Amino acid sequence: MQEAASPRKTSAVRSHAATALAALVISNVALAFGPLFVRLSDVGPVAGGFWRIALAAPLLLGLSTLLGERPVRAAQGLWGLLAVAGLAFAADLASWHIGIGFTTLANSTLFGNCATLIFPIYGFVVARMWPTRIQALALALAAIGAALLMGRSASLSPRNLTGDLFCLLAGVLYALYFILMARARERLAPLPALALSSLASIPPLLLLALGLGETVWPGNWWPLLAMAVVSQLIGQGCLIYALGHLTPLVVGIALLIQPAVASALGWVVFDERLAAADAVGAVLVALALVLVRGGSKPERVASGVEAPKSA
């Protein structure tokens, strides 16, 4: 006779799910504050990205070492791949931070997360398969929503449209980063992979900031420290934990928290009010983010590539 499931085991599973859900909410709220810290810092946008990684990467590496994962030894034979991934992430962060200065916080958050839509397209190409109906609907909604948001930005100012395009480019680069990281994670655990690729992002960010003539050394450290702790350590850390315990649909729905929080911050701090077209466009893009995650049947696409995490 088959034994009944242990109440203790069921309780533990529920406990993990509840903890992961709480971590997911915390993650998305924390990540939504990133654009605000970029604007409040007194360094250039690319320099802000440099400090976000430079302050957080040593802590990530130390934590990975303390957990006994030996990241340096485990990465043998992967240094070239990690270096290219770090360069892609540096370009993503630089493009996103530049775009944040020219568009609304809500738009920057939505377009910065477009890797969630772009990444499945890569899966379709590699697997040589058509998207599901839900995924095709998601891509169509995203295109309509993006057109509405960009149209509104263009009517406000060419600078706003430029900001949208920079954030959209950041989303493309973020998708490239995860394509590369998926290969690295075939042999590396998530934390050491994140730590080592982050270290590889530091030199290009610093060189680019200096090349652009940005102010690199801050007079006010708190926005940069907040960016490193809130965005990189808490935001990414909670997200990595939650992804191991929740379905893609739940993660996709939670993404709605980011633009909502960013919109509220933009309204309160910078008086960025959403017009009707902005609201409709944001809802369509957010709905597309949910559908494209919930509509994918496998957790992985071709070649073992995992679904991307938000920025």
Q: What are phi and psi for residue 58, nearest 5 degrees?
A: -60, -35
Strand (E) or helix (H) holding 180: helix 158-184
pLDDT at site 62: 86
Q: Positive or negative, the Cα torsion across 37, 42, 43, 44?
A: positive
pLDDT at site 121: 67
pLDDT at site 90: 94
User: Which residues of the chain are under the pLDDT cut of 70?
Assistant: 1-15, 74, 115-131, 150, 152-156, 185, 243-244, 246-253, 255-256, 274, 278, 289-290, 292-311
Whether 306 and 182 have beta carbons less than 8 Å apart is answered as: yes
pLDDT at site 36: 92
Helix, strand or coil for residue 74? Answer: helix
Distance CA 177, CA 311 (A): 11
Distance CA 270, CA 160 (A): 14
pLDDT at site 292: 63
Q: Positive or negative, the Cα torsion across 164, 165, 168, 174?
A: negative
Whether 311 and 112 have beta carbons less than 8 Å apart is answered as: yes
pLDDT at site 108: 85
Mean of pLDDT over the chain: 78
Q: Where are the beta strands (DSSP E) in the chain?
A: 300-301, 305-306
Distance CA 67, CA 72 (A): 13
Q: Which two tokens stand for residue 124?
A: 């379709």
